[in-house]
Structure 1
Amino acid sequence: MEHLELLLRTIFLYLVILITFRLMGKREIGELSVLDLVVFIMLAEIASMAIENTADSIFHSLIPMLGLVGIQIVFAYVSLKSKWFRDLIDGRPTIIINKGNIDEKAMKKQRYNFDDLLVQLREKDIRNISDVEFAILETSGKLSVFKKEPKGNGKRDHSKGDITMPLIIDGNIQEENLRRINKSKDWLLEELNKKGDLQVKDISFCSYDQGKMYVDINNK
């Protein structure tokens, strides 16, 4: 009888966690945010204790599990609406290699060493750092790499910009990225005005690359 109870508890909690993960949305394991990871670990620990402690009612474990799911859903919703909150929870991408030059200060800030860099470059079949134009450490811990292009291939004009830069996210101007492309807030507002007197607060995403601006209006 005891073994049957353990089996039923395991099946029940398996279904609860399966439904919970579905509610939390689709995301690859390597792209989990810190918030997702904490919730997953805590759910696993609570489920483990609920299976082992057969003397306690299994429904006592559902209360903290449902509480964690509620917190995660609320935080995920706030994260969708607030860039500031998203940066606070998930952090921001960090440029590790910028125009072929390694940014040691950025690496130190992220507690990211050269062994980490070389390992992730090898995973992308890059043997030499000198072949890299840009390397960006994403919030998921993955490294996005842009190789240097052979001179004279005519693919990119570096005088117009080096990499796609988000200038507006969720109605907020990314002033740090404006400085990276040597542009001002006044320039951005003037460019938006040329596109039909667009208001910053109405723009969900705006990026700039190779002298071209992409603008997406919030459709909510």
Structure 2
Amino acid sequence: MITIFIRTTILYILVVIAIRIMGKAELSELQPYELVIIIMIAELASLSMESVEMPFINGVIAMSTLVFLQVIISFLTLKSEKARAIICGKPSILIQNGNIVERELKKLRININDLIEQLRIKNFQNIDDIEFAILETNGELSVIPKSSKRPLTPSDLKIKVEEEGLPVSLIVDGKINRQNLHKASLNFNWLYKELRKQNIDDINKILYGSVDQNKKLSLHLKNDEKGIEK
């Protein structure tokens, strides 16, 4: 019982480390070879936990080998287009210039109903509205609508707008993020002064606080759904 507990704990830590080493892309959009490696790692971890007779080091070596191979393959796909084409494949154009590319559908064994379903998922009900539809190497369908069907943007109307930038988190669950405060070129005196302006006398009352590029402070209090903005 204790042996299984120890092995499971160690393997859990090793699998988490392995996923982190392989990169964040492993957790979102997987290439085929990445999916295979993750499945194999999971299987190896399962076998090492269940089979007490199996030497623990064997599972660790096998998992380490898979991580090493994945890092090597990722490096090759990063540096070589030929390697990337062989290992990951190439995107396939299913709709080109508003026309369905039938030979690609047959090659990929995708029927019209499947294509229409994927387009509906992307909020396109009419094929006539689409200029290009591209099946990416990770299986995701990218859709580019025709110019007349694209949403209007400020640039289309020749309206100048300020860039919003990315808000910086300053307070999370009553704790100040010193690193982000410094990144935003702010200091504690500024923060406490802004809190006093909004009648906040205890920082522990704040669930979340952020600041935008215009130094506008936005606060959300604990047990309060409404935010307070300066």
Shorter-chain TM band = 0.5 to 0.7
* Equivalent residues of 1:30, 1:140 under 8 A apart: no
Q: Percent identity?
A: 43
| Number of equivalent positions | 152
Q: Which runs of structure 2 are paired with 1:1-220 in the superposition (5 Å)?
A: 2=1, 4-27=2-25, 29-150=27-148
**Cα distance in 2 for residues equivalent to 1:72 and 1:61:** 17
Structure 2 unaligned residues grouped into runs of 5+: 157-230
Task: Compute the displacement of 1:39 (Å).
Answer: 0.6
**RMSD across aligned positions (CA):** 1.9
**Cα distance in 2 for residues equivalent to 1:96 and 1:124:** 15
**Cα distance in 2 for residues equivalent to 1:98 and 1:105:** 12
**Cα distance in 2 for residues equivalent to 1:119 and 1:30:** 22
**Cα distance in 2 for residues equivalent to 1:46 and 1:15:** 14
The secondary structure found in structure 1 opposite 2:148 is: coil
Q: Which has the higher contact order (CA 8 A, sep 6+)?
A: 1
Structure 1 unaligned residues grouped into runs of 5+: 156-220
Query: Per-residue CA shift, 1:117-173, capped at 9, x if unaligned?
Result: 11211111111111111101111111111111229x996xxxxxxxxxxxxxxxxxx
* Equivalent residues of 2:26, 2:34 under 8 A apart: no
**Larger-gyration structure (1/2):** 2
**Cα distance in 2 for residues equivalent to 1:39 and 1:32:** 10
* Equivalent residues of 1:93, 1:139 under 8 A apart: yes
Amino acid at match of 1:99: N
The secondary structure found in structure 1 opposite 2:109 is: coil
- Residue in 2 aligned with 1:159? none
Task: Compute the displacement of 1:55 (Å).
Answer: 2.1
Call closer, same or farther: CA 1:40–1:16 in 2, change over 3 Å: same
Task: Compute the displacement of 1:116 (Å).
Answer: 2.0
Amino acid at match of 1:67: T
Amino acid at match of 1:18: V
Task: Compute the displacement of 1:18 (Å).
Answer: 0.5
The secondary structure found in structure 2 opposite 1:117 is: helix
**Cα distance in 2 for residues equivalent to 1:51 and 1:24:** 22
